[in-house]
């Protein structure tokens, strides 16, 4: 959510940002907010005037009674009653206008960074960097589910019976590999100075609307029936949510946190064969990183975060590239975002394994997170998040890039200690 003062002072800038995101249907929101804000401020001013009048009249009633001017005192009491009645109506209107303004402000997209490429959708994202040499072996790479089934590491049929499509059983060395990757990711981030967390896996609706847009919420979140609780789609939700209604001292920044959680997502829509198996699923596990920092430090942290993912994948000999997300591909809360994509020898192209986002102060405004500054006054910090690794999807890249011709799979050295010293799965 952007600062309403920006809408007041630079409405055309806000509208141009909406156009850059190809959301022209939202242009009217800016004018609606301006009109509602005008009414709100007029109402608030009138309320303040009435309270002042009431206080002044009320103070004089006692003096009038002391002087024996009972009739005049009764007239003033009647005036106070009239003021209270008008105040009651205006107070209700004030709250109504405030809620209507907030509802519209939540729909107005965040101001994107000047460096973001302008484009309608993910087809116009821009590759910025590559790390590692993508290779295609001289033997055929099977579909990732076939690799896992040959290693007796996955059971999709049983999962369909118990839970439906979009679920799986991992077993044996593949299940162990899955856990090894997460444990390695945890230690990798701790070694880089991040504090490790295991957060709640359910959050309240106030936190949900604080960390994401309504569109994302509808497409992603599972609600617990009969309760004000949602299953998290990523630990970023509960990790940023932990700061709700918090005032941090400036010397407490930056907050650099890494968190493990299961993730639950609707994953709405139909997908091709390459996105079945364990690519798009309703339940998976992930290691995440979250930063809360001073606004001036967020660009530097943004690069640090996505380079952590790059370095993690490169430590396991998986080639990756970085894609800058264009304006039309950015979620409404994001200022800037990049995807980290891993090389698929089977498809001979890259696919997404992580997403890094700078959300500016949008989440902090929604969740009322502030930083105490005695000289400049309190301000909203910037929040950032990034995927370290989501093993089900990462397993595809891992298996394809480490597959031997005989069907065995190499275990890179950093993972061997987490696999009981194994150097090979077969």
Residues 6+ apart with CB under 8 A from 75: none
Annotated catalytic residue: which of 355, 365, 366, 400? 355
- Which helix (H) or strand (E) is 351 found in, with range? strand 349-358
What is the enclosing helix (H) or strand (E) of 416?
Answer: helix 413-416
Residues 6 or more apart from 80 whose CB is under 8 A from it?
54, 57, 58, 61
Q: Identify the active-site residue in 265, 321, 366, 370.
A: 265
| Count of C-beta atoms within a 10 Å radius of residue 374 | 8
Catalytic residue among 280, 321, 365, 370: 280
Instruction: Tell me how far apart the alpha carbons of residues 226 and 420 are, in angstroms, rounded to a whole number.
Output: 45
Q: Which residues contact 139 (CB under 8 A, 6 or more apart)?
A: 405
Catalytic residue among 104, 186, 365, 393: 393
Q: Of 58, 315, 352, 410, which is the active-site residue?
A: 352
365 is catalytic: no
Q: Which of 207, 362, 233 is nearest to 292 (CA)?
A: 362
Quick one: which of 258, 261, 267, 264 has its CA closest to 230?
264
280 tagged catalytic: yes
User: Rounded to an integer, what distance in angstroms lies between the CA atom of residue 111 and that of residue 114?
Assistant: 9
Beta bridge partners of 129: 322
Q: How far is Cα 147 from Cα 173, in angstroms, rounded to an integer? A: 12
Are 294 and 383 within 8 A, CB to CB? no
158 upstream amide cis, omega within 30 of 0:
no
Examine the residue annotation and report whether 51 is marked as an active-site residue of this protein.
Answer: no
Cα angle 397, 401, 404; round to 5: 135
Please report how many Cα atoms fall inside a 13 Å half-sphere around the Cα of residue 220, on the Cβ side. 18
Q: Which residues are catalytic?
A: 265, 280, 352, 355, 393
């Amino acid at each position: 959510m952007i600062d309403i003062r920006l809408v007041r002072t630079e409405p055309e800038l806000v509208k141009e940002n909406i156009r850059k995101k190809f959301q022209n249907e939202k242009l009217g929101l800016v004018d609606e907010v301006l009109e509602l804000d005008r009414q709100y401020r007029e109402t608030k001013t009138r309320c303040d005037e009435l309270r002042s009048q009431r206080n002044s009249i009320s103070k004089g009633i006692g003096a009038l009674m002391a002087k024996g001017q009972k009739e005049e005192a009764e007239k003033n009491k009647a005036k106070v009653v009239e003021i209270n009645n008008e105040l009651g109506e205006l107070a209700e209107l004030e709250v109504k206008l405030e809620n209507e303004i907030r509802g519209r402000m939540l729909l107005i997209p965040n101001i994107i960074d000047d460096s973001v490429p302008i484009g309608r959708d993910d087809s116009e994202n821009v590759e910025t960097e590559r790390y590692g040499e993508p290779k295609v072996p001289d033997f055929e790479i099977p579909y990732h589910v076939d690799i896992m089934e040959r290693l007796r590491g996955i059971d999709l049929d049983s999962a369909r019976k118990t839970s439906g499509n979009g679920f799986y059983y991992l077993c044996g060395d593949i299940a162990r590999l899955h856990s090894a990757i997460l444990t390695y990711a945890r230690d990798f981030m701790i070694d880089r100075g991040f504090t490790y967390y295991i957060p709640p896996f359910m959050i309240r609706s106030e936190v949900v609307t604080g960390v994401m847009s309504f569109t994302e919420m509808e497409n992603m979140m599972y609600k617990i029936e009969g309760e004000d609780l949602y299953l998290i789609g990523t630990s970023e939700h509960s990790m940023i949510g932990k700061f709700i209604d918090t005032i941090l001292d400036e010397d407490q920044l930056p907050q650099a946190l890494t968190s493990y959680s299961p993730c639950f997502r609707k994953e709405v829509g139909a997908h091709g064969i390459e996105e079945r198996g364990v690519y798009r699923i309703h339940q998976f596990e992930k290691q995440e990183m979250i930063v809360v920092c001073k606004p001036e430090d967020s660009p530097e942290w943004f690069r640090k975060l996505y380079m952590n993912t790059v370095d993690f994948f490169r430590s396991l000999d998986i080639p990756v590239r970085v894609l800058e997300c264009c304006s039309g591909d950015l979620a409404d809360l994001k200022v800037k975002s990049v995807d980290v994509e891993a090389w698929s020898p089977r498809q001979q192209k890259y696919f997404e394994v992580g997403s890094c986002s700078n959300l500016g102060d949008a989440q902090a405004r929604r969740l009322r997170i502030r930083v105490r500054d005695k000289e400049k006054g309190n301000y909203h910090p910037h929040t950032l998040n990034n995927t370290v690794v989501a093993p089900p999807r990462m397993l595809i890249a891992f298996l394809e890039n480490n597959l031997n011709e005989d069907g065995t799979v190499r275990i890179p050295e950093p993972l061997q200690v987490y696999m009981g010293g194994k150097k090979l799965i077969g």
